[in-house]
Amino acid sequence: MNHFDVAVIGSGPSGASTAFHLAKKGISTVIIEKETLPRYKTCGGGFVFRGRKDLPFDITDVVEKEFRTIDIYLGEKLHFKTEREDPTISMIMRDSFDNLITEKAKEFGATLLENHKLTKINFEDDLIILETSQGKLSANFVIAADGALSPTAKLAGWKEDTRKLIPALEYEIEVSDEDFKRLSKEVRFDIDAIPYGYAWSFPKKKHLSIGVASARRTKINLKKFYKEYLTTLGISDIVSESQHGFQIPVSPRTDGFVKNNVFLIGDAAGFADPITAEGISNAIYSGKLAAEAIIESNQEKDLAGKLYVEKIENQLLPEIKTGLWLSKWFYEQKTIRNLLLKKYGQRFSEAMADVFHGNRSYPTDIKKTIKNKIKELVF
Ligand SMILES: Cc1cc2nc3c(=O)[nH]c(=O)nc-3n(C[C@H](O)[C@H](O)[C@H](O)COP(=O)(O)OP(=O)(O)OC[C@H]3O[C@@H](n4cnc5c(N)ncnc54)[C@H](O)[C@@H]3O)c2cc1C
């Protein structure tokens, strides 16, 4: 049976980036991936600049388009535009993007076992034994980077799923040349195009990634709102269309991120941004933090787990927790929110652009700020 210091389950941005940082330090690392790479992943493929800054290599080859200007719409009347020097959002397709990070990890010696589905985890003495669809292997640490469904978390003993998972639909569509020319000029977010959520139009090289997500778990006919959104965008002619539905975990687990030397990162941990549901940048960041913890502890098991939790608590959770509060208010208090956006929409959009660039996080005194702004409006 082969043995590795670290086994990473999943080759998405979280797993591939952990493997990259570990392999670079000479730690023997295996990535176990159930699909054959490159593989399609349901995602808008909007990669914000703070995530791009966090990757220690160039990704130009897999960037389909870059947008320095972002357009946020609220209904037909309100439209806010922000502009930055660096690309606020880089458009990527996840098959080539995830594959690139995995290839970078392999360059430093990480082993990729694709077409290997993790099926069972056993804890024996001081080792973790992993059973896959193609045989067994052992590891000292396991990184669960296997996304929103995270079978690893279940197999490793997380009994309940304490994350909030929201539904999202993504369509890859080809439109007429005329529509593509018109729509490929802007990356746009439409707040309220769907109840308790937003719709997006993300232009790729030759097609559009259009999607809808709702912050409520209640049954909402996502497809109906997608169709309505096509009308908003003025699309009547669809040349080709493929539909992909999935869930996005927009709140962190409340029952821990480490158990028996198994670390949860990315969507498996519930680290997507609660307001935008943007998950790639925190997936990469949490992967880096997990790798740092293992490296800094010299692979001492208890210390590595402690360091990872400390890093998450200090460097990631405060922003997500504020985001959670803000997202509840943003999506549930529509009337007050829209009144505030009417007055402060440009300021809000600038703040979001700064968050996308990693130049600021959500302000921790946000509750107070919003209360004061409401008072200003009402009295
Ligand atoms: C419709 C939609 C649109 C989105 N749009 C955006 C966006 O525009 N920008 C953004 O930043 N985020 C977006 N997200 C969120 C983003 O896709 C996720 O946050 C991100 O993919 C999380 O990365 P990850 O590495 O944690 O997991 P994933 O990317 O899900 O990777 C998990 C990997 O684990 C593998 N795996 C699963 N089970 C097993 C198993 N048993 N054995 C072996 N391997 C396994 C999978 O095949 C996969 O490769 C969107 C999500 C959805 C659903």
CB of 287 closer than 6 angstroms to any ligand 1 atom: no
**Distance between CA atoms of residues 265 and 171, nearest Å:** 26
Return the bridge partners of 9, or none.
Answer: 32, 144
CB of 199 closer than 6 angstroms to any ligand 1 atom: no
Give the model confidence (pLDDT) of 297-353 as tens digits.
999 999 999 999 999 999 999 999 999 999 999 999 999 899 999 999 999 999 999
Instruction: Count how many residues are written for the chain.
Output: 379
pLDDT the model gives residue 210: 98
pLDDT the model gives residue 31: 98
194's tokens: 């769907």
Atom index in ligand 1 nearest the CA of residue 267 equals 26
CB of 10 closer than 6 angstroms to any ligand 1 atom: yes
pLDDT band at 377 (very low <50, low <70, confident <90, very high): low
Select the more confidently predicted residue: 366 or 281: 281
CB of 344 closer than 6 angstroms to any ligand 1 atom: no
How many Å lie between the centroid of ligand 1 and the Cα of residue 264?
13
Are β-strands 262-264 and 135-144 bridged in parallel, bridged antiparallel, or unpaired?
parallel
pLDDT the model gives residue 379: 58
Which domains occur in the chain, in start order?
2-70+87-162+253-319 (3.50.50.60), 165-249 (3.30.9.10), 335-378 (no CATH)
pLDDT for 282 beyond 90: yes
Tell me how far CA of residue 265 lies from CA of 18, 47, 136, 379, in angstroms.
9, 18, 23, 45
pLDDT the model gives residue 159: 87
User: In this structure, which residue's CA is closest to atom 2 in ligand 1?
Assistant: 43
Q: What mean pLDDT is reported for the chain?
A: 95
Residue with tokens 């800054």: 53
pLDDT band at 371 (very low <50, low <70, confident <90, very high): confident
Atom index in ligand 1 nearest the CA of residue 119 equals 41
- HSE-CB at 21 with a 13 A cutoff on CA atoms is 23
Q: Give the residue ranges of DSSP H helices in 108-176.
A: 151-155
pLDDT the model gives residue 77: 85
pLDDT for 69 beyond 80: yes
pLDDT the model gives residue 372: 72
Q: Is 230 helix (H, G, I), strand (E, B) or coil?
A: helix
